[in-house]
Amino acid sequence: MSEHGSKAATADAAHAGETRRDFIHIAAGVAAAGGVAMVAWPFVQQLGPAGDTKAASAAEVDLSKVPEGSEIRVGIGGLPFFVRHRTAAEIARAKADDTATMRDPATDESRLVKMADGSYNTAFLITSGTCTHLGCVPVGPAQGSVGEFGGWYCPCHGSHYDTSGRIRKGPAPKNLAIPEYAYISPTMIKISL
């Protein structure tokens, strides 16, 4: 065998050894990563919410139990939500203010949810009960304090919301949030986090 042939055979054998060694390292790394994932998965799963917590992240509300001109407060997952049965005057005021200059512009209708038949139930407004400034809970018509715009007022820092839950005055940067909710029937809604 020539010297050149011997060197080529040695180089091929060395290359084959490197390729095999690389494969063994990659296979060992994949097996180790799979083992770590199998051991870690139960720990990662336990970080998710428990079944009872998931169940507490929704509430059904019978709107027929909320008299016109009043509201109820619903706690879901430790957070407050307002379910307001607005009067004709409150609805008219909210619609009239649709064109007013606002920090977080929104029409009254854009803050309502369509019913199953495609219409809007303008009498009911469902909002988060958390002020968008620092997370306080505003007071509203049910507590006898409606603020300057007929809606909710946060006495902690002076934010005023209108009858559609839109921020009108004070330090709050955003409107009261509208939670996920759907009509289950014409008088029953389900509010979800």
* pLDDT averaged over every residue in the chain: 81
Q: Are 179 and 81 in contact (CB under 8 A)?
A: yes
Active site residues: 157
CA dist 111 and 95 (Å) reads: 11
CA dist 138 and 17 (Å) reads: 73
Q: How many CB atoms lie within 10 A of CB 77?
A: 14
Mind giving me the DSSP string for 122-165? TTEEEEESS-TTTS---B-GGGT--TTTEEEEETTTTEEEETTS
CATH of the domain at 111: 2.102.10.10
Instruction: Give the model confidence (pLDDT) of 64-117 as tens digits.
Output: 999 999 999 998 888 999 999 999 999 999 999 999 999 999 999 999 988 878
Residues 149 and 130 in one domain: yes
**Across residues 159-182, what is the average pLDDT?**
93
- With tokens 């509201």, the residue in question is 71
Residues 32 and 117 in one domain: no
Q: Please state the pTM of the whole predicted model.
A: 0.68
Residues 59 and 41 in one domain: no
Residues 92 and 176 in one domain: yes
Closest CA to 181 of 132, 130, 126, 131: 126
Task: Report which secondary-structure segment, H or E, holds 191.
Answer: strand 188-192
Residues 87 and 151 in one domain: yes
pLDDT (0 to 100) of residue 171: 94
Q: Are 100 and 113 in contact (CB under 8 A)?
A: no
Residues in the chain: 193
Q: How many CB atoms lie within 10 A of CB 87?
A: 16
Give the structural domain span for 149.
52-192
Residues 71 and 37 in one domain: no
Closest CA to 132 of 104, 172, 161, 164: 172
> Running DSSP on this structure, what letter comes out for residue 97?
G
Residues 182 and 96 in one domain: yes
Task: Report which secondary-structure segment, H or E, holds 4.
Answer: helix 3-45
pLDDT (0 to 100) of residue 53: 52
SS3 of 69, please?
coil
Query: How many domains are contained in the chain?
Result: 2
From 48, 63, 83, the end of a domain falls on 48
Residues 72 and 31 in one domain: no
